[in-house]
């Protein structure tokens, strides 16, 4: 005698239905991000950086990163990031250091000039842009308070004015 048991797994692994608020917020954040990409690219261009180079400079701000970690954080192939880092190193903005425990891995860090460029870029990005230019100061504050818990320590800190 053969017994076949069929188990409906769809209910046990079903993800909860997202609330209309989070669905709407996700759509607005995505749209805002897409609208801000040209603004970000233009501010990077003001400093003779590509948007990818600007992103690298922002990511390397506080501590060195392994090349592979940087590539993963930016969702780029490591070979692509190598070329970007080469150009930033040629400009004196980034330096490579061998890892003590792994001679195959390179740690990337900003130079003094790289830190200065990062501060300059953050200062340029400070101005409200795109859809955020329409917000009142109170709305800006509430938006920041709503988004901050989702990002915790990953927030970029802007230089004080």
CB 112 within 8 A of CB 48: no
pLDDT at 21 over 60: yes
**Helix orientation angle between 112-125 and 20-46, rounded to the nearest 10 degrees:** 120
- pLDDT digit string (tens) for 96-112? 988 777 777 788 999 99
| Per-residue model confidence (pLDDT) at position 161 | 45
Averaged confidence pLDDT in the chain? 83
3-state secondary structure 30-78: HHHHHHHHHHHHHHHHHCCCCHHHHHHHHHCCCCCEEHHHHHHHHCCCH
CA distances from residue 109 to 17, 23, 37, 76 in whole angstroms, order as listed: 42, 38, 25, 18
| Per-residue model confidence (pLDDT) at position 13 | 56
Domains of the chain: 40-126 (1.10.10.10)
In angstroms, the CA 61 to CA 110 distance is 7
- Closest by alpha carbon to 112, among 86, 93, 89? 93
- pLDDT digit string (tens) for 124-155? 988 878 888 888 989 988 988 888 887 765 55
In angstroms, the CA 150 to CA 58 distance is 19
Q: List, in sequence order, every residue forming a beta bridge with 108; answer none if it has no partner.
A: 65, 96
Rounded percentage of the chain residues whose pLDDT exceeds 90: 37
In angstroms, the CA 38 to CA 51 distance is 9
- Closest by alpha carbon to 18, among 10, 26, 6, 9? 26
CB 130 within 8 A of CB 40: no
pTM: 0.77
Instruction: Label residue 5 by pLDDT band (50, 70, 90).
Output: very low
């Amino acid at each position: 005698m053969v017994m076949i048991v069929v188990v409906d797994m769809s209910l046990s692994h079903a993800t909860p239905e997202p609330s209309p608020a989070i669905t709407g917020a996700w759509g607005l954040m995505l749209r805002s991000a897409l609208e801000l990409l040209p603004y970000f690219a233009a501010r990077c261009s003001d400093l003779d950086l590509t948007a990818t180079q600007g992103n690298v400079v922002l990511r390397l701000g506080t501590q060195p990163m392994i090349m592979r970690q940087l590539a993963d954080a930016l969702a780029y192939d490591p070979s692509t990031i190598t070329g970007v880092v080469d150009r930033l190193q040629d400009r004196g903005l980034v330096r490579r250091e061998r890892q003590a425990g792994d001679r195959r891995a390179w740690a990337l860090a900003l130079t003094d000039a790289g830190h200065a460029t990062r501060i300059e870029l953050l200062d340029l990005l400070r101005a409200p842009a795109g859809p955020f230019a329409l917000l009142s100061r109170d709305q800006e504050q509430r938006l920041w308070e709503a988004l901050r818990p989702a990002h915790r320590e990953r927030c970029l800190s802007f230089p004080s004015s």
